[in-house]
Structure 1
Amino acid sequence: MDLTPATAEQRFVLTHAAGIETLAEAERFADATPDLLDAILTGIGDFAAGEWRPLTRKGDTVGARWTPEGVVMPDGYPAAYRAYVEGGWGTIGSPAEYGGQALPFAVATAVLETLGTADMGFALAPTLTVGAIEALTHHGSAEQQARYLPKLATGEWTGTMNLTEPQAGSDVGALTTRAEPVGDGNWRITGTKIYISFGDHDMADNIVHLVLARTPGAPAGTKGISLFLVPKFRLDADGNPGAPNDIRVVSIEHKMGLHASPTCVLSFGDNGDCIGELIGAEGAGMRAMFTMMNNARLNVGLQGVQVAEAATQRAVAYARERVQSARASTGGAPVAIIDHPDVRRMLLRMTAQTMAARALVYYAAGQVDRATLGVEGAKTRLDLVTPLAKAHGTDIGCEVASLGVQVHGGMGYVEETGAAQYYRDARITPIYEGTNGIQAADLVGRKLVGDGGAGVEALFTEMEAEVGHAALRDLLNDTRAVARWMLEADVDDRLAGSYPFLTMLATCTCGWLLERQGRALDQVADPDFVARKRAAVAFYLDRIVPEARGLGMAAMAGTGGLYSLSADQFAAG
């Protein structure tokens, strides 16, 4: 199925959720003119539809392949990646001093959305590179930046982050990878990392791994972790890839989805000759890595938008073509299933939820840019909405992909139609880069309690000044009440209700952003765009917002009943 880029929708949301016009008033982002934005969105849409979209089926059915020499991508992927690099698409948000265009992160977010809608697995390669650029920009030495950022900025080299180990999982503090000083300022790296997306491939000349490891005598836990830059190929005197760096691809995972994205087990230093460079100070690895991780969390939330947009387009196309049964109210000849009320319900829900997730993630991206500009309160707001964007965005991606299968009926369960791929691809997103349960715990722990509720209250106050829809105002009041209860509750009770609270707060935020968009439709000339947006906004406010109100009791139920069974009783017959 061909891709129809969501260009008009992206442009509208950049304006009314990310606030791109306000950002462009700053000297740093003065190049983000309306004409340039339109050219970028149109250009990436044409590129993604023409170069990346045709590969997605092959990426799913053939997938990346492990060989003793390294990972081999399916035919067509290396050429398509080179076209991405040659087109300058990797430079959109990269620093200008290293060859980037230094445009707002919100613009780069829209570009990445289009690429991921075309081929979500493939788009993980540039997604991770963006995070590596961010980490090196903030924490790398001047020499490291000069040697690595120009190639990462263009995408000629790709980046990864290496946290997880077989025994550690989400408990990063339990990692055991070691870094021993060589004596010349470099470090010898030894250990194994798992779940490394695009940990190896044949599309770029080098791969820059950012690796968490322990130095000799480092304290236990996260305080003893440092971050190292470990290239696949060491650089020669001219800065070009040279000798291999003793990194072995042990295997790639056989996954439920994302088959175009090789998820690698990497072994560093089997022969005692893997050399890395320390990024920042010893023991400061987690601070540096979280710069990359927070960026990645927003981009994982964006993956929810990507897969939701693709699944919705496919479901709408199928529903318009598939003829089955007469409409109940009219009788007569069979009609396309898009005319049946329940199919309409599913398609409108898919459309509304996709718009909601996009608004939330773009809003967060706009806060990244405001924090970069030093706008007061932007960093606090970004910290608050990041777990919402990651968790709620990916929940929506899974829901919409599942509904897409349902619209297809039995044919959705058949792989040849392509609907199942979206659900398989989406299902990892609530898990990686910090599970959604961890996002909820972060929300009620660090983000809510950390400042005594001031940050979330500021958000409530801003929403309160704009919200007009009755159900949304009721949800706002309910969510505020839960937040105040959370501030007084003990830690276990907060954690027990953290997930429903996150959903309430995210739904309230999405409703606020969608209602704002609805008020701006008088400025839009395209009647079809206006009709679709009005219908989706009304569906969200009238049907999805009231559902979230029902989560209030669960959010404040505490641990009651959760520990009424012993661990053994869970397994009782």
Structure 2
Amino acid sequence: MSDYQPRLDDIQFILNQVLRAPERLAELPVFQEVDAELMAQVLEEAGKFVAAEIAPLNRCGDEVGAQWHQGAVTLPPGFKDAYQAFWQAGWASLTTATEDGGQALPAVLESVLYEWLSAANHGWTMAPGLLHGAYECIKHHASEALQAQYASKVGTGEWLATMCLTEPHAGSDLGLATTRAVPQADGSYQIRGTKIFISGGEHDLTDNIVHLVLARLPDAPPGPKGLSLFLVPKFYADGSRSAVHCERIEEKMGIHGSPTCVMRFDEATGWLVGELGRGLNAMFVMMNAARLHVALQGVGLLDAAWQKADAYAHERRQMRAPKPVGVKGEVTDLIIEHPAVRRILDTQRAWVDGARVLAYKTGLALDIAKHHPDAAQRESAQRWCALTTPILKAACTEQGFHGASDCLQVFGGHGYVSEWGIEQNLRDARIAMIYEGTNEIQAIDLLMRKVVADGGAALHTTLDELALGLSASHVHEAQVLDLFAQLRALTAQALATAQAPDGAVRLSWVAGDYLRLATLALLAWSWTQIDVAVQALPATNDTATRWHAPAAALRAWVLPEFDMRAQMVRTQCIRA
């Protein structure tokens, strides 16, 4: 099968016609020079780079994989050259501040770039995937001395970075971490401990690797409040190597081109980032940025699987499909004519398109929250980001895996063998449901910390904002308003249940179902926005007809799930 190809027309339509991104960005003084033409130029060049330099390495990366030998890790052929070309061309620093060598462009452009990179080559993209979060963490929490030494190097991608959280006994519960940091007279710390599942902990892509490590001082209290964050480079300024060792890399189901390392810190010298005992606060700058990128991994991997399945369905001949009533002429024996195949492809297309609207809206919101001159606009954007980040991370990655499985089904037995490449999409997609906070944790975060914690205020305000402009006289918009009303009612029941002695247990049973309800309601809303944009196009326009089938699939095959999930939530909730 051919390599993944970014399709700029689809992205342009969503950014320009659906979200009116250039108009929203024009409200921000910092982006006065960023218009639709500039955005198109950036994305066009990004698409060319991804298609020419990154996508062709995907199969080799999977088959050869990262190689470990006596503590050194070598990445698959072509990976290093591609990465050097990537950062030197400025793709790693799209949103980095100009004073740190970046281009200070909008976050939504970076969102599109990383979606395409993940779709083209997930294993390779793991390397720069944490750069933005690491840069923001250093920029906002490190001392001036550390910023001077590391912000530009990480911000431009000249040096790569890691996020060292997990330990053999401490995965989702980071409060169990035991890695020690002992203060030294010169203000540095000696770091000792072992971290596992460290993406890119050791490699040959860059001259240095900057490790951001959670550890606790000897007298720190137990639990998460005792954790602090430290910066430990692979190499120090004088060229000496730190006492950080890669003991091995994991043999994994997928993303073979990315080394998942076991890292041992043997009294390695490091420096405090942020305040003592507030390491998680500093680290969450990285984690929240990473969660949006992981959501986009799900979108990109699903789009890659869909591209393969769609191309195959237009070539594969089998038995003649049933002829729809009213269709003139003969129906061919291409499997694309079969309703079962058409349903799979149109349904996954509906997920990709709708999720892009929500993810790109979140990318825009990141910049609005940071730069908009109006405080109310900043508050609204921040509320949207906080509420939708766990939704997008969980929903997009779940669909990325299960949707890729459906796309594999289009191939029949050919999908199960490696020749066609679709099985790699499935294997690579699975990890995204686990890392950066498992999807179950995202669901609990949404329901307990984002909804119950404030009595549903943020959710209700967000739904009010989304409902503006929707008309009950329009059949599809009326459906969205009805889904919003049901979600509000179920939220009221969840709030009542939270007050019960066993409320936390009851809600934990159905947190995933509640997140799915919110996802479906938002997905339905995103398609009303697509509908409005499509209606503004000439009826005969190819762009207009492109969106009809997935819109129909959403309403026929996706949204009916809402009633099932709602009933599941009701079974655990007290009637409000």
Equivalent positions of 1:139-150 (< 5 A) are 139-150=141-152
Task: Tell me how far apart the structure 1 counterparts of residues 196 and 433 of structure 2 sit (CA, whole Å).
Answer: 18
Equivalent positions of 1:67-106 (< 5 A) are 67-106=69-108
SS in 2 for 1:150: helix
Matched, 1:317 2:314: no
What's the counterpart of residue 500 of structure 2? Answer: none
Does the CA contact (< 8 Å) of 2:216 and 2:226 recur in 1? Answer: yes
SS in 2 for 1:404: helix
User: TM-score scaled to structure 1, two decimals?
Assistant: 0.93
| Alpha-carbon offset, residue 200 of structure 1 | 1.2
Matched, 1:450 2:450: no
Q: Deviations over 1:358-380 (max 9, x none)?
A: 22221222221121125132222
Task: Tell me how far apart the structure 2 counterparts of residues 454 and 206 of structure 1 sit (CA, whole Å).
Answer: 45
SS in 1 for 2:161: strand
Matched, 1:304 2:291: no
SS in 2 for 1:122: helix
Matched, 1:286 2:287: no
Of the three residues 478, 486, 508, the one matched with 2:486 is 478
| Alpha-carbon offset, residue 523 of structure 1 | 4.3
What's the counterpart of residue 390 of structure 1? Answer: 393
SS in 1 for 2:572: coil
Q: Which moved more, 1:119-128 or 1:316-325?
A: 119-128
User: CA 1:261 to 1:551, structure 2 compared with 1: closer, same or farther past 3 Å?
Assistant: same
| Alpha-carbon offset, residue 322 of structure 1 | 0.6
User: CA 1:22 to 1:326, structure 2 compared with 1: closer, same or farther past 3 Å?
Assistant: same
Task: Tell me how far apart the structure 2 counterparts of residues 410 and 76 of structure 1 sit (CA, whole Å).
Answer: 31
Q: Which amino acid aligns with 2:45?
A: G
Q: Which amino acid aligns with 1:516?
A: Q
Q: Which amino acid aligns with 1:342?
A: A
| Alpha-carbon offset, residue 356 of structure 1 | 1.9
Q: Which moved more, 1:462-471 or 1:26-35?
A: 462-471
| Alpha-carbon offset, residue 167 of structure 1 | 0.7
Q: Which amino acid aligns with 1:540?
A: L
Task: Tell me how far apart the structure 2 counterparts of residues 164 and 146 of structure 1 sit (CA, whole Å).
Answer: 28
Q: Which amino acid aligns with 1:113?
A: E
| Alpha-carbon offset, residue 11 of structure 1 | 2.1
Q: Which amino acid aligns with 1:129?
A: L
User: CA 1:169 to 1:84, structure 2 compared with 1: closer, same or farther past 3 Å?
Assistant: same
| Alpha-carbon offset, residue 87 of structure 1 | 1.2
Task: Tell me how far apart the structure 1 counterparts of residues 491 and 364 of structure 2 sit (CA, whole Å).
Answer: 24
Matched, 1:379 2:398: no
Task: Tell me how far apart the structure 2 counterparts of residues 333 and 303 of structure 1 sit (CA, whole Å).
Answer: 37
Q: Which amino acid aligns with 1:381?
A: W
What's the counterpart of residue 340 of structure 2? Answer: 342
Matched, 1:329 2:326: no
| Alpha-carbon offset, residue 334 of structure 1 | 5.8
Task: Tell me how far apart the structure 2 counterparts of residues 529 and 200 of structure 1 sit (CA, whole Å).
Answer: 45
What's the counterpart of residue 565 of structure 1? Answer: none
Of the three residues 140, 159, 167, the one matched with 1:157 is 159
Of the three residues 108, 111, 119, the one matched with 1:109 is 111
Q: Deviations over 1:508-562 (max 9, x none)?
A: 11211121121012445792222112322232134311222321011122289xx
SS in 1 for 2:559: helix
What's the counterpart of residue 410 of structure 2? Answer: 407
Does the CA contact (< 8 Å) of 1:257 and 1:421 recur in 2? Answer: yes
| Alpha-carbon offset, residue 206 of structure 1 | 0.7
Task: Tell me how far apart the structure 1 counterparts of residues 537 and 292 of structure 2 sit (CA, whole Å).
Answer: 29
Matched, 1:527 2:527: no
SS in 2 for 1:194: strand
Task: Tell me how far apart the structure 2 counterparts of residues 421 and 99 of structure 1 sit (CA, whole Å).
Answer: 36
Instruction: Report the count of equivalent residues.
Output: 552
SS in 2 for 1:209: strand
Task: Tell me how far apart the structure 2 counterparts of residues 457 and 276 of structure 1 sit (CA, whole Å).
Answer: 45
User: CA 1:449 to 1:18, structure 2 compared with 1: closer, same or farther past 3 Å?
Assistant: farther
Matched, 1:418 2:421: yes
User: CA 1:159 to 1:524, structure 2 compared with 1: closer, same or farther past 3 Å?
Assistant: farther
Matched, 1:257 2:254: yes
What's the counterpart of residue 365 of structure 2? Answer: 367
User: TM-score scaled to structure 2, two decimals?
Assistant: 0.93
Matched, 1:461 2:475: no
| Alpha-carbon offset, residue 320 of structure 1 | 0.6
| Alpha-carbon offset, residue 77 of structure 1 | 0.6
Q: Which moved more, 1:41-50 or 1:370-379?
A: 370-379
Q: Which moved more, 1:524-533 or 1:348-357?
A: 524-533
What's the counterpart of residue 516 of structure 2? Answer: 503
> Percent same amino acid at aligned positions?
42
Q: Which amino acid aligns with 2:486?
A: D
Does the CA contact (< 8 Å) of 2:61 and 2:76 recur in 1? Answer: yes
Q: Which amino acid aligns with 2:116?
A: T
Equivalent positions of 1:1-12 (< 5 A) are 1-12=2-13
Matched, 1:211 2:205: no
5+ residue gaps, structure 2: 373-377, 498-502
Task: Tell me how far apart the structure 1 counterparts of residues 20 and 390 of structure 2 sit (CA, whole Å).
Answer: 17
